[in-house]
Structure 1
């Protein structure tokens, strides 16, 4: 049975569901798993039952100002102190043996992480007693971190959708933005971006603050001091994949990684090349890991884990997959045998931007540079972090640069491989070298596939349009076209290329499966 209590924390009552193992309190005390969520605690009752069935007391709480909890909803503002107070309350219960696993996905992953690395100078010393283990899936690490790429380019569609669904309200309306786009397909083209609430037809007083928030990187910055065991789960198609890897790489305690060919909803959101071998039961894996950590012995220090390679049945050891050395491939005249089809010069016009939701590439359009390789002569595994290096100039003082890599099979079907952004501020006409990170890759490119690289000035509506005037893209109301030029012979990509596994190799070797601690 689920029992609901309201925990008093700093003049607010936080609605909290508690589900004990079937044997009940008499058979306790138990280790606890704590999930703090803005998405409604009742949606986690199935998950809570699964934890309880495995011997944990499951504690699921609505964060301040959401669903059943009182107080004002201010994303990311109260989670360190509210989380610390909740952990203290749980440890004081007679059914708790004092051991706690903090767990969560997306925003809830942030809630779990700050109970470990939250501000130690907070009013109640929130870092004084961290949980015994933390599970962070596709972590959304802060307002500014989720609103912008590491380059500073604004993530428009994702943030507009999230704030329309969850911002400045006690509950959620997941389809709010889609409904408005149905009535007004040009909704996101209206300027300034800060006027979105008027277009949505409801008040969103926190919307301007999304773009004003400074990028603190607080969780990653404090991660080296953590000693709590970490299980980080992510997807190579998740917008926060780079944050998941940064968290795992910098964590000071034992850290384990599971990275699959998934989007933000993980196994419910498989990407291109996902195979049956990648349909991991993440719930069972997480519970088994938490049980092993709680019951001891302590996990070995250092980093370990598994990364799935899309298009194959294989899982690579995480250290091998993430740290594969990058090789530099010129986009013309190099080992990839690429050719510049068009775009030694091109126009980046924010009034007619290259769209993020279209994979068609017309060589007759003058809005991008387009490189295409000859068909690959053998299967090629790209496993690790990639980047593009451009020798480029713009005739405007401000410019964004997007690089999108697309795999085109012999039948002409296109699938996205990677996308990245960079922002430059240079005197007009200045040649410079622009490095564009492309994020983590883990996929096999089959023989016969062509790799198409598109270099553009916009990637809309996924990202806001740079107006090229030097104004902030969020508050700008005037747009200017920008003429771009590339030196093709000095434009390259850095890819981590691993030797392909043989087709007959055993995909079930224990060191290749995400079954640890």
Structure 2
């Protein structure tokens, strides 16, 4: 029972024997019953394991308001676990996605007796503002944040928002009824087209304050294991959390999507199929026993190779200037039109070869030797738009020697320059961990939309969620001074190969 009398439903699995036992708790909006096999696995390794429905979800009482009650409810749950006769007083908070936020919130609570002793946070969804939009950057946007993450947020809210249970097929069903679901304006009316009420939908997009979980973690003294996928939309939040954490911090990044090893990318190798459950148990034992060294240690899989490597300190930022034979050669579109009526698609990698350009397209020569990338990538643009508000989308794609296209990195920023005056624009592409084989060409696209992954910028200066009018936007790139920067491990250095479990558990 919570401090206000609300009762939360939980499943508890105890190890055999008399105890006492350390505990692991998973607080989730995705139905505690789905974790029963996981609880049994923890119990078989000597942990008392609990999965709990968060407030207002499934069998728990109260009202479901994402991100509003997790710190207090998590603290009360940790306190309850420590008070049980079978408990040895040690608690590990664990979770993935929203459940990772629950675990982190408990760890950042006010009272030491209400905080867990260690945290496992996988692909953490850190808050409303973080999940709804790309992060806004000072001087680059007049919006509460950056461009809206439309497709993923619609899918999550359709499945889980404003309801006690979940309907995982809600968005697919709606798209089957209306394949042009996302094209109707205004986007604020999308819940009606989904076929049910979503009163929290406007609140999602009005969220202006980021949760500050990553920054608050700087004062944390408990051990952290942060786990992410290089293809996960919250990859950079995972890395930032690890970088700011005050206690012993470990990072594991694999070539996976949001479901981690259950959603490997095409660049994943069989050696990247880790048993994450066994690794979590080993790390938790080391963390509770005080066997982890201080500071930060990180491990990443280089997709495209079979190796795991420690996060490197000797990576060089290598520039590929636009419009040069040794960098990125211009193919077409130094001037192009970003038309929200015909936006560049996020779900297609084909590029038009004729007609008026809808993006700037550049390509490198085939790389002469394998290229190891490990760290943050970015693009520096000098560019102009003739509309009061413009999104700048940069997509980096690898073209292997057979011609197969595979996305490597993506960045989206929103600017309010306008007036056709060239501006310097920095577009972060996020953390990359990849080996590209010899003969690969890099294709760089600079566009104005990435739809439906992100909402279309209407180019009128209006809120993309309420706009009903769309305007084309003429864009111009100045090649001189524009460049792609990649985190390249120098060829003269061998990438250090490590055992991921040994590295993060020591």
Query: What TM-score do you get using the length of structure 1 for normalisation?
Result: 0.93
1:352 aligns with 2:346: no
Structural mapping, 1:274-353, within 5 Å: 274-297=268-291, 299-320=292-313, 324-333=315-324, 335-336=326-327, 338-353=328-343
* TM-fit CA distance, 1:305: 2.4
What's the counterpart of residue 259 of structure 2?
265
1:141 to 117, 126, 133: 126
Task: Tell me the secondary structure at the aligned position of residue 449 of structure 2.
Answer: coil
2:45 to 41, 54, 65: 54
Task: Give per-residue Cα distances to partners, 1:282-313, cap 9 Å, x unaligned.
Answer: 1100111001111334x211000211100111
Of stretches 360-369 and 176-185 in structure 1, the one that deviates more from structure 2 is: 360-369
**2:480 and 2:492 mapped to 1: Cα distance?**
32
What's the counterpart of residue 142 of structure 2?
none
Asked if 2 retains the 8 angstrom alpha-carbon contact of 1:28 and 1:95, the reply is yes
**2:445 and 2:59 mapped to 1: Cα distance?**
47
1:28 aligns with 2:7: no
2:10 to 16, 19, 26: 16
1:404 to 375, 378, 395: 395
Task: Tell me the secondary structure at the aligned position of residue 188 of structure 1.
Answer: helix
Task: Give per-residue Cα distances to partners, 1:197-238, cap 9 Å, x unaligned.
Answer: 100110100000000012323201211100010000001100
**2:466 and 2:183 mapped to 1: Cα distance?**
13
Task: Tell me the secondary structure at the aligned position of residue 236 of structure 2.
Answer: helix
Asked if 2 retains the 8 angstrom alpha-carbon contact of 1:328 and 1:492, the reply is yes
1:110 to 101, 112, 129: 101
What's the counterpart of residue 487 of structure 1?
478
What's the counterpart of residue 367 of structure 1?
358
**2:500 and 2:177 mapped to 1: Cα distance?**
52
Asked if 2 retains the 8 angstrom alpha-carbon contact of 1:317 and 1:512, the reply is no
**1:334 and 1:435 mapped to 2: Cα distance?**
23
Structural mapping, 1:412-423, within 5 Å: 412-423=403-414
Gaps of 5+ in 2: 137-145
**1:131 and 1:149 mapped to 2: Cα distance?**
30
Task: Tell me the secondary structure at the aligned position of residue 292 of structure 1.
Answer: helix
**1:285 and 1:512 mapped to 2: Cα distance?**
6
- After TM superposition, the runs of 4+ consecutive aligned structure 1 residues lying more than 4 A away are 500-503, 509-515
**1:498 and 1:107 mapped to 2: Cα distance?**
34
**2:502 and 2:288 mapped to 1: Cα distance?**
22
1:69 to 23, 40, 60: 60
**2:20 and 2:441 mapped to 1: Cα distance?**
59
Change (3 A) 1:512 1:285: closer
**2:456 and 2:256 mapped to 1: Cα distance?**
27
Task: Tell me the secondary structure at the aligned position of residue 204 of structure 1.
Answer: coil
Change (3 A) 1:501 1:446: farther
Asked if 1 retains the 8 angstrom alpha-carbon contact of 2:308 and 2:499, the reply is no
Change (3 A) 1:510 1:184: closer
Of stretches 309-318 and 224-233 in structure 1, the one that deviates more from structure 2 is: 309-318
**1:377 and 1:58 mapped to 2: Cα distance?**
52
Task: Give per-residue Cα distances to partners, 1:428-475, cap 9 Å, x unaligned.
Answer: 111101110000001111111111000000000000000000011111
**1:501 and 1:515 mapped to 2: Cα distance?**
26
Gaps of 5+ in 1: 1-6
Change (3 A) 1:202 1:511: closer
**1:506 and 1:35 mapped to 2: Cα distance?**
34
What's the counterpart of residue 206 of structure 1?
200
* TM-fit CA distance, 1:318: 2.2
* TM-fit CA distance, 1:511: 7.3
How many pairs align?
A: 496
Asked if 2 retains the 8 angstrom alpha-carbon contact of 1:315 and 1:513, the reply is no
Asked if 2 retains the 8 angstrom alpha-carbon contact of 1:468 and 1:481, the reply is yes
* TM-fit CA distance, 1:411: 2.0
What's the counterpart of residue 505 of structure 2?
516
Query: What TM-score do you get using the length of structure 2 for normalisation?
Result: 0.95
1:81 aligns with 2:75: no
Q: Calculate the aligned-residue CA RMSD, in Å.
A: 1.7
**1:285 and 1:107 mapped to 2: Cα distance?**
21
Asked if 2 retains the 8 angstrom alpha-carbon contact of 1:303 and 1:319, the reply is no
**2:38 and 2:492 mapped to 1: Cα distance?**
36
What's the counterpart of residue 4 of structure 1?
none
Task: Tell me the secondary structure at the aligned position of residue 354 of structure 2.
Answer: coil
* TM-fit CA distance, 1:192: 1.2
Asked if 2 retains the 8 angstrom alpha-carbon contact of 1:347 and 1:368, the reply is yes
Change (3 A) 1:506 1:391: closer
Change (3 A) 1:215 1:319: farther
